[in-house]
A and B are shown apart, each in its own frame.
Chain A
């Protein structure tokens, strides 16, 4: 049976997948290169969302400028996170790294609550709805999807076409050899942290167009971002990209057959089952 609403749900899933892919990409990059999981990744996104809201709503800064500033700010936050929190625990057991970045998560949540209160804030923008045939799509989602794909493509080009990108891809394979080839690992980690943060900043801009920001917003998409990375194989950027679209379909199509919450339940159940079947990720060999 040809069901136009199902097609609408599938396409909405694809649009959602783009944003999830971008979210997962920054986290995956940092893990793949530095071998550290930024548990507080979604809270970096939150910083970006608040920055956009603050600049745009309070100071009337034009939206593109506010977004640019927010991306730069979150990139800087990524560097600060690396220098202040990650660097001191780099050589220690992974559990320490999880715990400190977990600590940063709660710190940022609490700081946001103190600074902005628990209210839900939004940009107050009314984004148009796009009608195609008899299907309706949010313009914000289409914009987010296009930007996310452009971000993914830009990162891919950077990693494969530049020598700095090549060094970033190489360093996770053998950390000891890199310095003998003249590559300073510290510098690579700083650049990676800035890019990871910048990706979180772009994601913040895309999410701020669609969702309200509040201190706990990280909890609504932090776990799913993390699960996408694990499902794709932590550090495997191509795997994370595909996993983002798989998850988005579960949420969107699952939500179409039942409620949206059921979409999440199915997605998480799928994740748990996959952890039994393919613990190293969908594309492990």
Chain B
């Protein structure tokens, strides 16, 4: 198992944001993590990435407990993450952003040349130019998401936590983003957890889906099985229509 999460719980005072969530992930799998706003998806991500300490439960990555480790250590062990709202360093260039991640993001020291090559590869993978003069200011919403992804990829993760939430992108951009994650798994063998609240575009790419609601796991299974689950339909009813490839979210 690449990742095993057991009874993961996080409380903020009296409020339980994530409650006894368990799931596991095989190497090379793409897992979709869906749920409405406030369902605990980001809190779960933050615990795996080390930005929040779990109140209870365990997170095992490649056989080792990583719950409560610092973000730097988790990054060095091979977990990369992106943010729903891209957070680039705007006063650095596009390439500088990615090279910095390549240079510092790996446990073993890499040479400048190697960091440079890895950054260029990550940029090529997402389809951004590796031009040293290209500035972050020139990127639109889709470009910023690509940069976010390239920066995470440059740290050479074995597991990618993609907080994609494709809101703000148009349909073709969403499809592109979905295809990109599929390609990253296929070409680089990177295991992916993809967080999203729009179900349609995600269902086309993922192997398996977990649904969170109010901090609890309410469903797990193949995209088709989850989409037909009455509990899931109830949550999403009125918000969006559950859709498959070919269909579009209403």
Interface set of A (CB-CB < 8 Å, partner B): 163, 166-167, 169-170, 173-174, 176-177, 179-184
7 nearest interchain CB pairs? A182-B105, A179-B71, A182-B104, A181-B101, A170-B89, A163-B103, A179-B72
CB-based A-B contact count at 8 angstroms: 62
Q: Does B219 contact A (CB under 8 A)?
A: no
Interface set of B (CB-CB < 8 Å, partner A): 49-51, 70-72, 75-76, 80-81, 83, 87, 89-92, 96-97, 99-101, 103-106, 112, 115, 151-152, 155
Contact A163 B104 (CB under 8 A): yes
Residues of A within 8 A of B72 (CB): 179, 182-184
Residues of A within 8 A of B99 (CB): 163, 166
Contact A166 B76 (CB under 8 A): no
A28 smallest CB distance to B (angstroms): 15
- Of the candidates A166, A180, A183, the one whose C-beta lies within 8 Å of that of B92 is A166
Enumerate 23 A-B pairs (CB-CB under 8 Å) in ascending A order: A163-B99, A163-B104, A166-B92, A166-B96, A166-B100, A167-B104, A169-B91, A169-B92, A173-B89, A174-B89, A176-B87, A177-B83, A177-B89, A179-B50, A179-B75, A180-B49, A180-B81, A181-B151, A181-B155, A182-B105, A182-B155, A183-B100, A184-B72
Q: How far, in whole Å, are A184 and B105 apart by their CA atoms in the complex?
A: 10
Contact A163 B81 (CB under 8 A): no
Q: Which of B76, B101, B151 has the most CB of A within 10 A?
A: B101
A176 smallest CB distance to B (angstroms): 7
A157 smallest CB distance to B (angstroms): 15
* A163-B100, A176-B51 known; A181-B105 Cβ under 8 A: yes
Contact A177 B155 (CB under 8 A): no
Q: How far, in whole Å, are A170 and B72 apart by their CA atoms in the complex?
A: 16
Residues of A within 8 A of B50 (CB): 179
Quick one: closest A residue to B82, CB to CB?
A180
Q: How far, in whole Å, are A177 and B151 apart by their CA atoms in the complex?
A: 11
Residues of B within 8 A of A167 (CB): 100, 104
Quick one: closest A residue to B91, CB to CB?
A173
Contact B87 A174 (CB under 8 A): yes
B80 smallest CB distance to A (angstroms): 8
Contact B71 A180 (CB under 8 A): yes
- Of the candidates B51, B75, B90, the one whose C-beta lies within 8 Å of that of A181 is B75
